[in-house]
Amino acid sequence: MSLTKQIIDATTDIFTTMVMMEVTPGEPITGRVNPFHASISGMVGMAGSHKGMLAIHIPEPVAMAITSNFLGLEVDAINEDVQDAIGELANMLGGNVKSFLTETGSDIKLSLPSTIFGQEYTFQCQDEVETIVVPFTSSDGKFLVELRLQSEA
Amino acid sequence: MNLGETLIASTKEVFDTMVMMETTPEALPEGQAGSISASVTGTLGLAGDLRGILNLHFPDEVARDITASLLGMEIEELDDDVKDAIGEITNMVAGGIKTALAREGMDLELSIPTTVAGKSYQVNCFSGANRVIIPIAVPKGTFWAELKFMLNS
């Protein structure tokens, strides 16, 4: 199974079972997806036998809808609840990809998740890193899931 | 061990030996821990005995001056050279922290650096993490070195 398929399955699964939201994957994107406008990005670093990072980039209204569904509370701003929810989503996606990359998952460790948000920002890694970006559509709008993986030494 | 001291020492070493720029750690102005105005942030996930994230936040002019010094060329705008340089500096500072922690018998694994840039954005970690933040003065201004972490027992 390919990494792209794994990202699609992991995202669909986490949204269906944890966020209680149906999402539909689109065609993987090649090339730049920056900059992001009025958005929030959740990211988690992967270290150990594989080095990389997983990020989810979500426009503000979609992020608020996801948080409302996920935590079962109303949110009307990018507050601490939204930041924690989107960070936790990145963490869960990272955990899933980690288990896929190694047999036991124990050779890869995750960093703490972090969030970036603002009216306009770009997000970039070094060029020599493998990149997979998959867009998803929910009833509240679109978002992107991005995996960056350094080739094994 | 004092992670603030480790962060200062690792940053100073990279600036002394690679950037060729003098750094002076400053005291954090009281009550201003939350307000950082940066145009470029290098961020890198840390995993292992310490789970966290290293962030280096730079104002535009400081980032360009550091890149010019590192690459030995004039830098007019916040371009890919600047983003690559900030990512690489973040990677080197994280490497210094890894080495320092190894001397204390702690294992630290590094993810890959990501550079965030923009006119208005914030970088946050989830609300339960510990935080060390140190303003560091350089000739063109001040940048901020920040560690957010939890210790794994």
Confidence of residue B128 (pLDDT cuts 50, 70, 90): confident
What pLDDT digit, counting tens, does each position of B50-83 carry? 999 999 999 999 999 999 999 999 999 999 999 9
Rounded Cα gap, residues A42 and A83, in angstroms: 8
Task: Report the SS3 class of residue A143.
Answer: strand
CA distances from B63 to B33, B40, B119 (A): 21, 7, 14
Give me the residue from B53, B84, B121 closest to A112, CB to CB: B53
Q: What is the pLDDT of residue B30?
A: 67
Confidence of residue A60 (pLDDT cuts 50, 70, 90): very high
Rounded Cα gap, residues B82 and B67, in angstroms: 6
Q: Hey, what domains does chain B have and what are their CATH numbers?
A: 3-151 (3.40.1550.10)
Q: What is the DSSP letter of B27?
A: P
Q: What angle do CA B41, A92, A110 make, to 5 degrees?
A: 55
Min Cα distance A76 → chain B (Å) is: 18
What pLDDT digit, counting tens, does each position of B86-124 carry? 999 999 999 999 999 999 999 999 999 999 999 889 998
**This model's pTM is above 0.80:** yes
Residue A122 — φ and ψ, nearest 5°? -110, 165
Give me the residue from B111, B121, B126 closest to A121, CB to CB: B121
Tell if the CB–CB gap between A123 and B123 is shorter than 8 Å.
no
Structural domain that includes position A52: 3-151
Q: What is the pLDDT of residue B153?
A: 60
Confidence of residue A129 (pLDDT cuts 50, 70, 90): confident
Total structural domains in chain A? Answer: 1
Rounded Cα gap, residues B122 and B84, in angstroms: 20
Confidence of residue A152 (pLDDT cuts 50, 70, 90): low
Between B139 and B38, residue with greater pLDDT: B139
Give the CATH number for residue A102.
3.40.1550.10
